[in-house]
């Protein structure tokens, strides 16, 4: 073991002595005498605010909003997790941050009506464990458990299912309490109780935090059940022909596509009776507690491949990573400890959502993206397609892949392209029809002005999704360019805006940052803006001509404008395809 450790250090030259304490994720809000800073869990941004407050009850939450309104401050609700990628929660002007970190105790189960009412700040894992203990299951949840109940519904978070109410958690919301600004005579803030038939509930279920402060969420439950999961690692022909049947056949189906490996992984995942034998656990490999040295070594080699433009190196690690995932079934564990074979059967509460890195008790392990270590740093693009449109997108990506499969090793080092399913929703900022959600992660440079290997390919896939095939951006993910024109993509966008006008006419809960996302504003372009996804290039200077990246057209989608590497300005653009 020790030999392996030192070898690691020598290989990665990352061996250093650190003074660190426990590696559970750090608090996203930090205050000093001069004010507070909010950052997200990846450390991808930090925004400053005037002051922060930590209510523990609904009345204290109401009084915090009242304080902000009375003093002409803006307000932003933040959580203990802050796992959203865009700057939705970022404050502006003098803002009071209202954290739900300590408003996290109430979980009331109504067994007769199969429903649960929770305080806004309750963490997803606590909620799941509480309802399972009472003999119920939450049918839908995101795959990652490091989120609060109000935070996750506010951005439309989802798992995967076309059955029943579907894979999105907000489609299980049957009531919501929200604190909104009020007149002086009402005490400057009041609690609205929205019941299931209230049209305002359709606005408030997915609200990006801009309607008011959610205090309680009521979710419908099902009787406790088990699931049986098998992953089929197979060839990637014909995903576009089978995804609809796959989603109809398996209640919790998903598909992961590794384009460079010509591999598709079909998740056969169905509900089984409670008495089916098995006590399995889905400890998804990407969310496991990793030795910090390993996370840093992975990042170190990824960076090295980037600076050396070493595609082969990336392809080698993509191949090893996929082989390892297959070996360990992505982290499924039959008995809670190891994978011994398919199918893996376990309780819904243990099979849907995971995040064991959240509970690190050691100083040398953490989530692989913890900003306090030199670990992973990546973009996450998440595009939501009407079900019938995703086939054409897959065909275009396949064409791009076939030009040079190696160009896709970068995404295959993460999780390839993950396809999940959600049903039509009544939420104004939810999906108007049954949809397919496609996620992919890719290398993000620590310095936003550093171009990335194959960045033209990711940009083309991004523009294929959002502009050619009309996908909508997941509210909690994506780079700013994905939100361009988002208003026109939601048929009920104006109904959302009128609800916002009614509940928060002074825009207390809005900021420049959340407006940029909600209204999909095109920002003024500046040198290098396309590298960080803040614009689409129209001139070379929006890329990085000094580092050999020029604004070029897409290879499959000619209308796309991407930053492509060209070793010398005289070489033809096709030389960079290879
Ligand atoms: C590793 C990882 C995996 C993920 N996996 C998935 C997945 O499988 N599926 C998926 O859909 N998403 C996924 N996500 C995205 C995640 O579900 C969302 O980012 C979620 O919104 C985060 O919740 P949070 O509690 O951290 O909220 P925050 O990021 O803190 O807040 C999100 C928004 O909600 C607002 N908000 C929070 N609480 C309140 C409140 N009480 N009242 C009003 N507004 C409020 C905030 O102002 C902000 O605008 C993942 C994210 C990560 C980091
Ligand atoms: C911060 O906000 C709280 C209200 O929650 C208020 O009581 C306190 O005085 C504020 N502090 C400062 C320095 O503004
Ligand atoms: C895996 O998928 C392939 C292609 O769809 C299929 O031919 C094969 O039978 C599947 N294997 C299992 C074990 O279901
Ligand atoms: C599970 O329970 C059902 C009745 O509810 C019974 O028919 C079935 O045989 C049981 N299965 C097992 C594996 O015990």
The proportion of the chain whose per-residue pLDDT surpasses 90, expressed as a percent, equals 83
> Using one digit for the tens of pLDDT, what is the confidence trace for 540-549?
999 999 999 9
User: Measured in angstroms, how far is the CA atom of residue 54 from the centroid of ligand 2?
Assistant: 11
The predicted pLDDT at position 165 comes to 97
What pLDDT band is residue 21 in, cutting at 50, 70 and 90?
A: low
Which atom number of ligand 1 is nearest to the Cα of residue 476? 19
Mutate which of 81, 98, 126, 151 for ligand 1? The one with the most ligand atoms within 8 Å of its CB, which is: 151
The per-residue pLDDT for range 334-392, each reduced to its tens digit, is 988 899 999 999 999 999 999 999 998 888 888 999 888 888 999 999 999 999 999 99
pLDDT, mean of residues 488-509: 97
522 confidence band (pLDDT: 50, 70, 90): confident
pLDDT at 317: 94
Q: What is the pLDDT of residues 91-119, one digit of tens each?
A: 988 999 999 999 999 999 999 999 999 99
pTM of the model: 0.94
Give Cα 120 to chain centroid, integer Å. 19
CA distance 391 to 240: 5
280-311 b/e (C-beta count within 10 Å ≥ 16 → b): bbbbbbbbbbbebbebbbbbbbbbebbeeeeb
The predicted structure's pLDDT at residue 362: 84
CA 309, 311, 313, 318 dihedral sign is positive
Per-chain mean pLDDT for the chain? 92
Determine the distance separating the centroid of ligand 4 and the alpha carbon of 272, expressed in angstroms: 11
Residues 6+ apart with CB under 8 A from 303: none
Nearest CA to ligand 2 atom 13: 51
Q: Please tell me the predicted confidence (pLDDT) of residue 111.
A: 98
Band (pLDDT 50/70/90 cuts) for residue 143 is very high
Ligand 2 pocket, mutate which of 33, 34, 51 (most atoms under 8 A from CB):
51
pLDDT computed for residue 449 by the predictor: 87
Residue 7 has pLDDT above 80, yes or no: no
pLDDT at 17 over 60: no
pLDDT of 22: 60
Tell me the domains of the chain and their CATH numbers. 107-223 (3.30.465.10), 226-487 (3.40.462.10)
Q: Which of 55, 67, 103 has most ligand 2 atoms within 8 Å of CB, for mutation?
A: 67
Find the mean pLDDT for residues 504-519: 95
């Amino acid at each position: 073991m020790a030999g392996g450790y030192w070898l690691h250090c020598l290989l990665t030259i990352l061996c250093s002595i650190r003074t660190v304490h426990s590696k559970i994720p750090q608090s996203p809000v930090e205050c000093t005498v001069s004010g507070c800073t909010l950052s997200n869990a990846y450390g991808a941004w930090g925004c400053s605010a005037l002051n922060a407050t930590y209510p523990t009850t609904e009345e204290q939450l109401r009084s915090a909003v009242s304080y902000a309104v009375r003093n002409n401050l803006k307000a932003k609700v933040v959580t203990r997790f802050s796992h959203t990628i865009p700057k939705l929660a970022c404050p502006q002007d003098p803002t009071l941050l209202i954290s739900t970190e300590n408003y996290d105790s109430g979980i009331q189960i109504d067994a007769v009506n199969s429903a649960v009412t929770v305080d806004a700040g309750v963490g997803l894992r606590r909620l799941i464990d509480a309802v399972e203990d009472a003999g119920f299951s939450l049918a839908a949840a995101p795959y990652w458990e490091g989120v609060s109940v109000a935070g996750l519904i506010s951005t439309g978070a989802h798992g995967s299912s076309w059955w029943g109410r579907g894979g999105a958690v907000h489609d299980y919301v049957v009531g919501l309490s929200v604190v909104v600004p009020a007149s002086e005579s009402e005490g400057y803030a009041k609690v609205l109780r929205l019941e299931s038939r209230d049209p305002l509930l359709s606005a408030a279920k997915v609200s990006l935090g801009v309607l008011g402060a959610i205090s309680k969420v009521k979710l419908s439950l099902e009787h406790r059940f088990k699931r049986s999961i098998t992953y089929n690692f197979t060839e990637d022909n014909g995903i576009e022909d089978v995804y609809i049947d796959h989603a109809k056949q398996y209640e919790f189906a998903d598909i992961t596509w590794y384009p460079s490996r010509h591999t598709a992984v079909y998740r056969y995942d169905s509900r089984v009776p409670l008495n089916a034998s098995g006590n399995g656990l889905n400890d998804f490999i990407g969310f496991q507690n990793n030795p910090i040295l390993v996370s840093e070594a992975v990042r170190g080699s990824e960076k090295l491949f980037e600076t050396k433009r070493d595609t082969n190196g990336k392809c080698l690690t993509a191949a090893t990573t996929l082989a390892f995932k297959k070996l360990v079934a992505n982290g499924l564990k039959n008995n809670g400890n190891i994978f011994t074979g398919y199918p893996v059967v376990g309780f819904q509460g243990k099979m849907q959502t995971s995040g064991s890195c959240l509970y690190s008790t050691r100083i040398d392990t953490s989530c692989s993206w913890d900003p306090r270590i030199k670990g992973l740093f990546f973009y996450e693009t998440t595009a939501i397609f009407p079900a019938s449109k995703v086939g054409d997108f897959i065909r275009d990506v396949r064409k791009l892949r076939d030009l040079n499969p190696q160009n896709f090793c970068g995404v295959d080092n993460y999780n390839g392209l993950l396809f999940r399913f959600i049903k039509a929703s009544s939420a104004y900022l939810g999906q108007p029809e049954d949809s397919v959600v496609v996620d992919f992660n890719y290398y993000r440079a620590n310095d936003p002005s550093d171009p990335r290997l194959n960045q033209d390919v990711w940009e083309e896939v991004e523009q294929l999704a959002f502009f050619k095939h009309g996908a909508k951006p997941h509210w909690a993910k994506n780079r700013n360019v994905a939100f361009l024109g988002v208003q026109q993509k939601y048929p009920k966008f104006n109904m959302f805006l009128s609800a916002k006008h009614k509940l928060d006419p002074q825009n207390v809960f809005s900021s420049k940052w959340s407006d940029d996302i909600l209204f999909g504003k095109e920002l003024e372009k500046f040198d290098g803006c396309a590298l960080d996804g803040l614009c689409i290039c129209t001139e070379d200077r929006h890329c990085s001509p000094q580092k050999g990246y020029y604004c070029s057209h897409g290879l499959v989608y000619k209308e796309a404008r991407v930053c492509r590497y060209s070793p010398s300005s005289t070489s033809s653009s096709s030389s960079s395809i290879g």
